[in-house]
Amino acid sequence: MTYQIPARNERTQPIRIVPGYPQTPWRNPKQPLIKRALTLSELTGPAEVAKRVKLLGGDIAGHGERQAIGQLMHLRLRIVDEDGSPVGGTMVEIWQANGAGRYIHPNDDEHAPVDQNFYGAARLLTDDTGAIDLRTVKPGAYPVPTKDGWWRPPNIHFSLFGKVWLSRLVTQMYFPGEPLNGQDRILNAVPDAQARERLVARLVPPTGDPHNALVFEHQIVLRGRKATPAQP
Amino acid sequence: MKKRTAATRGKPARKPGKSAARQRLVPTGEATIGPFFPPRYVDAGANDLTQFDDHKAAGEVIEIFGVVRQEDGAPLDNLVVEIWQADAKGIYRHPADPRHREADSRFFGWGRAATDREGRYAFRTIRPGAPRGRARHINVMVMFSGLMRILKTTMFFTGEGANEADPVCKAVPKARRHLLVAREEAHGRYRFDLKLRGEHETPFFDD
């Protein structure tokens, strides 16, 4: 039994070989990708992946003496499917640079200091409304070692599982009004302007936080619809 | 704006289910996983699918390993490989599989590995059974710095008569099909190298 689903609009997804991003021409397939009818392999998936890995708490900004350096913020993330229905109980992996633009990773060089109070990773499950609340510091921008002045704007990375193999997603979120957004080669690899705008979080009035932290809202749409596929 | 009529007055303006059916949202744009995916997200044991909740899965233990290279043959370090597969009876642990109630409760079916400096990855798993209408196979995805989108492929097993009739195998031009078939280097040890671009390029799927 095979299934068909509508293809994504290519203009809402990034081009694969990105001018000025020197690794991309070496690693992306030269042959056209092969179309296939979908089977249970793509329409099932590790929906309960949190049973296989460890979750990591959603408060990564630290407290008191151990507070991370940077602009304190909350990210209110909401995960929905293509019908707009919340995707509850799905694992989201989040990672980001510290307030100075440095990642805790052996691959990051020493252009900016490590913050001892900031690791920069959270692994969370959405609640029934598809929501996640992350308390963090706003990431700094950072240079890419291309030697031509490319800096990544402040961004937060996400890896999401959704319900099925087809809904797996790796994406990045940007901040509104950042001067580096307009020239970022990764953000601008998405041809459609509205699709790019949807990668940018919304600043909303602070509410309820004793430290008046900044609050950003962001929605991520996973592939798939609420309806389960017809049974074979 | 539509005016509410007498018939709809007093009712919710839209039933949530109905409004959802009308509104089709556009899936969020993908982006590269970048070079800084946290090492602790490649959990110890995430590449060993033979155990779940401290119980051993049913079936024959096999190993799947290989090297991932780019166009110039350079091995790729710190690349993330994920797999998803059916259990020994060919059943997926997921409600969309009509047989999921019979699935092996000691087998989860998902794993993650990262490549080392030589571009090597490895999984220990269970030889999957053939899901209905398919040859036995393992679903593979690759995420890496410089890959703006996840690359998806399928690994088949050598010597399986069902391979030629498999709908995914058949979608691949004949001359390239062998690139999806893992080589059995020793009993139960399967080599599945991935070439992201260029000569012997692994077939990847558009889905």
Cα B135 to Cα A165, B22, B89, distances in angstroms: 18, 38, 12
Three-state SS at A51: helix
* Mean pLDDT split into 10-residue runs, chain A, 232 residues: 77 98 97 94 95 94 94 97 95 98 88 94 97 97 92 98 96 98 98 98 87 94 69 40
Q: Which of A134-148, B5-19, B135-149, B186-200 bottoms out in mean pLDDT, i.e. has the lowest?
A: B5-19
Using CA atoms, how far apart are residues B2 and B186, in angstroms rounded to an integer?
69
Using CA atoms, how far apart are residues A125 and A132, in angstroms rounded to an integer?
7
Cα A154 to Cα A97, A195, A212, B112, distances in angstroms: 8, 18, 21, 28
Q: Which two tokens stand for residue A103?
A: 């990642």
Report which secondary-structure segment, H or E, holds B206: none
Assess A26–B contact: CB distance below 8 Å, yes or no.
yes
Radius of gyration of chain B (CA): 21
Assess A147–B contact: CB distance below 8 Å, yes or no.
no
By C-alpha distance, the chain A residue nearest B110 is: A46
Q: Chain-centre distance of CA B86, in angstroms? A: 11
Higher pLDDT, A226 or B125: B125
First CA to last CA distance, chain A: 6
Q: What are the two backbone dihedrals, phi and then psi, of residue A49, each rounded to the nearest 5 degrees?
A: -60, -25
Is-contact B84 B139, C-beta < 8 A? yes
Whether B7 shows a pLDDT value over 50: the answer reads no
Using CA atoms, how far apart are residues A224 and A81, in angstroms rounded to an integer?
6
ipTM: 0.94
**Which of A23, A30, A84 lies closest to B145 in CB terms?**
A23
Q: Which two tokens stand for residue B141?
A: 């995805």
Instruction: State the nearest Cα–Cα gap between A176 and chain B, in angstroms.
Output: 17
- Give pLDDT, residue A208: 73
Residue burial B71-98, b: 16+ Cβ < 10 Å; e: rest: beeeebbbbbbbbbbbbbbbbbbbebbe
Residues of A in Cβ contact (< 8 Å) with B52:
51-52
Residues of A in Cβ contact (< 8 Å) with B134:
39-41
Assess A93–B contact: CB distance below 8 Å, yes or no.
yes
Q: Is the pTM of this model over 0.90?
A: yes
The mean per-residue pLDDT over the stretch B13-17 comes to: 46
Assess A15–B contact: CB distance below 8 Å, yes or no.
yes
**Which of A34, A123, A186 lies closest to B172 in CB terms?**
A34
Whether B157 shows a pLDDT value over 60: the answer reads yes
Q: Which two tokens stand for residue B107?
A: 């087998």
Whether B66 shows a pLDDT value over 60: the answer reads yes
Using CA atoms, how far apart are residues B109 and B131, in angstroms rounded to an integer?
13
Is-contact B73 A139, C-beta < 8 A? no
Q: Tokens 């062998």 — which residue?
A: B178
**Which of B137, B141, B198 lies closest to A168 in CB terms?**
B141
Instruction: State the nearest Cα–Cα gap between B3 and chain A, in angstroms.
Output: 24
Residues of A in Cβ contact (< 8 Å) with B150:
168-170
Name the H helices within chain A. 24-27, 40-43, 193-197
- Give pLDDT, residue A225: 77
Interface contact flag, B35 A221, Cβ < 8 Å: no
Residue B75's nearest CA partner among B203, B200, B196 is B196
- Give pLDDT, residue B4: 42
Whether B23 shows a pLDDT value over 70: the answer reads no
Three-state SS at A50: helix
E strand spans, chain A:
72-80, 91-96, 121-125, 131-137, 142-143, 151-152, 155-160, 169-174, 202-204, 214-221
